[in-house]
Amino acid sequence: MVAPSEHTHISSTSSPCPGPGYQPPHDLGPLVTHARVLSEALIAEGYSTAGLADFLDSRIPGAYSAVMAGNPGVAIAACDGESALDILVRSLLLHVPDPRLRGWMDGNCGPHVYEDLLHGGLIIEPSQGAWSWDGANSSSDQGAVPSYCAFDARPLAEGPLVFSDVDASFVAHVPGSDHVLGIGAASLSLAQAVPDSSVSSILDVGTGGGIQLLVQAVRHAASADGKPPRLVGTDIHPRALDFARATLAAAGLDEDVDLRQGSWLEPVAAGERFERIIANPPFVVGLPEVGHVYRDSGMNLDQATEMLVRTVPEFLELGGIAVLMGAWVGDAARVSAWVPEGCSAWVIERDHVSAAEYVATWTADEGVDPRSPEAIERTRRWLKHFKDHDVASIGFGYIAVRRNGPDQQDYVVAERISQPHTDPIGVEVEGFFALNDWALNVSEEEVLASRFAVSPAAALDVVSQVAPDAQGGFEHTVTRLSRLDGVLFSHDIDPALATIIAGLRPDGLCLGEVIDLYVLSTALQSGEQPALGEDEQQFRRFVAGSIVELVRHGLVIPEQLVADTTHGCR
């Protein structure tokens, strides 16, 4: 590392980000060429998720979380030192000009990297004298010119860097129509919604800056047969593919991924199949026009999501699974009509908002002042379009689609999962299909003859409230069986069912026998003869049906599926 000049002083009260003269880079070729050496140099300096968190928090406690929440001023205040990370956080993460950037790059990346990035518009040197530090001239007395990076390089938690355009939620600029997104909440949540089991081939539709491909490459470093999966990404946007090339090159994966330019699935050859497909498409529900290629499909309302759900299964291997992020008008059940024959699907609605809330959210996403005439006119047109098409609300979430094999039955389950959770949904997806296949095809007699295991993450809550009468005390209100892992499914159950579930073991009695013991025990406690008539038969049907519903959400697992799900069970 080149030590910064002792004459160079950087104030913590510099101008807002990004620096003056900012324009999106016009030539990404130099970034693709130098991505590997730049990435290695950055990581060597501690430019990683953990490294940045430790660095910023050591200066100002809580600074890293504040910066990631969109408060760059905290980091500017924290980065007033002379270390390499001071230089890199200012010029690369915050896009504030720093006269030490060139010296760091020349010393750590080689003599041509800085110049190549500068000529491609990837580094910006504000005009001499146009930028000042503490009232001084913009250059030091040794001629160092302040400069900053006109691109983002954000580390994934797994380590590799992701290159993209400057994040509009982080700096003061309005993204252009060809803006390429970097790491965001949507991309990270989609990555967590994809199963992590080994597969031989993965397709990323609308790959953007290559985040999903990078995550999958890291996650599936080798499949079960010892070979890495075949990775293919498609995107219509040339700038997005260039950023994807840079991201993959930085991780040493540029030779391992096949990037193809074209619209949606057009670049995929006829008859080409994949075990897994991922898509974070431009799914915004709106007018049939393209304002930003990363979010607007040019299709009307939710037709982009519909098109993908209808067409993606054609490119899946039998038994293959596609996980899509999407949005739809109204209820999630609307998606059920889009799933083609020969497929099963799990529609997971994570959020549901009114038309007005939806428009306000996506208008803010553009970085436009909502009080400006431009934003007001755009909002008016958008809401009028919704009114003309009877759109009152919009749902958002994930759609997992499986192309069924010859022994698998078609079905669609659409449900709202609004409860907060931190565990990835991806670990649930394959288990969901296995459990629902069983639930759909099993008879009542087979349920009663089966043995079951209870998820070790299951918790039983017995809730009592103050009795409404004048005597006081508590009375039972509800018995609830919940999962403490995954997506935290919860079911209100009958106290009798709770007692029966407590008696389930995969190496114990079958469900029918546990019910018989419960009926006998209850009769003995009451001093009555066991009921053997219609009431008992109705009770057995009730328990069998309830168990099937608990199986669907992984609270109870059939003995034969314990090894096929992600839940270790007692």
The pLDDT tens digits of the residues spanning 226-256 come to 678 899 999 999 999 999 999 999 999 988 8
Burial class (CB in 10 A: 0-12, 13-18, 19+), 107: middle
- The per-residue pLDDT for 420 is 78
Per-residue model confidence as pLDDT tens digits over 402-437: 999 988 899 999 999 877 777 788 888 988 999 999
In this structure, the number of other CB atoms found within 10 A of the CB of residue 355 comes to 18
Of the listed ranges 33-37, 451-455, 521-525, the one predicted with least confidence: 521-525
The residue ranking higher by pLDDT, 536 or 443, is: 443
The residue ranking higher by pLDDT, 376 or 467, is: 376
Pairing between β-strand 343-354 and β-strand 411-416 as defined by DSSP bridges: parallel
In this structure, the number of other CB atoms found within 10 A of the CB of residue 80 comes to 15
Average confidence (pLDDT) over 22-32: 87
The residue ranking higher by pLDDT, 96 or 132, is: 96
Average confidence (pLDDT) over 440-457: 94
CA distance 414 to 502: 29
Per-residue model confidence as pLDDT tens digits over 257-308: 999 999 999 999 988 999 999 999 899 999 999 887 888 888 999 999 999 9
Nearest to 77 by CA among 447, 286, 203, 86: 86
Domains of the chain in start order, with CATH, are: 28-126+144-153 (no CATH), 185-438 (3.40.50.150), 442-561 (3.90.930)
Tell me how far apart the terminal alpha carbons of the chain are, to the nearest angstrom: 55
Pairing between β-strand 148-149 and β-strand 123-124 as defined by DSSP bridges: antiparallel
Per-residue model confidence as pLDDT tens digits over 509-521: 999 999 999 988 8
Amino acid letter for position 147: S
DSSP state of 98: B
Q: Nearest 5°: CA angle at 260, between 255 and 266?
A: 150
The residue ranking higher by pLDDT, 305 or 567, is: 305
Helices 29-44 & 238-250, crossing angle to 10 degrees? 30
Pairing between β-strand 393-403 and β-strand 343-354 as defined by DSSP bridges: antiparallel
Secondary structure (3-state) at 286: strand
Mean pLDDT of the chain: 86
Nearest to 324 by CA among 304, 301, 308: 308
335 pLDDT more than 90: yes
| C-alpha count within 13 angstroms, C-beta hemisphere, residue 254 | 16
328 pLDDT more than 80: yes
CA distance 215 to 282: 20
pLDDT-derived band at 488, boundaries 50, 70, 90: confident
- The per-residue pLDDT for 45 is 95
Whether 85 contacts 52, CB under 8 Å: yes
Secondary structure (3-state) at 568: coil
The percent of residues above 90 in pLDDT, for the chain, comes to 59
Per-residue model confidence as pLDDT tens digits over 301-324: 999 999 999 999 999 999 999 999
Of the listed ranges 39-53, 225-239, 285-299, 522-536, the one predicted with least confidence: 522-536
Query: 58-79: buried (b, 16+ CB within 10 Å) or exposed (e) per residue?
Result: ebeeebbebbeeeebebbbebb
223 pLDDT more than 70: no
- The per-residue pLDDT for 537 is 87
- The per-residue pLDDT for 531 is 53
Distance from chain centroid for Cα 250: 22
Average confidence (pLDDT) over 324-348: 95
Per-residue model confidence as pLDDT tens digits over 58-69: 999 999 988 888
Amino acid letter for position 146: P
- The per-residue pLDDT for 224 is 53
Whether 161 contacts 183, CB under 8 Å: no
Provide the token pair at 20.
């003056």
Of the listed ranges 117-126, 170-179, 313-322, 331-340, the one predicted with least confidence: 170-179
Nearest to 171 by CA among 242, 53, 80, 76: 76
- The per-residue pLDDT for 421 is 74
- The per-residue pLDDT for 14 is 40
Whether 455 contacts 567, CB under 8 Å: yes
CA distance 311 to 206: 14
- The per-residue pLDDT for 10 is 35
- The per-residue pLDDT for 136 is 35
- The per-residue pLDDT for 18 is 55
- The per-residue pLDDT for 401 is 98
- The per-residue pLDDT for 131 is 41
Secondary structure (3-state) at 529: coil
pTM for this predicted structure: 0.86
pLDDT-derived band at 129, boundaries 50, 70, 90: very low
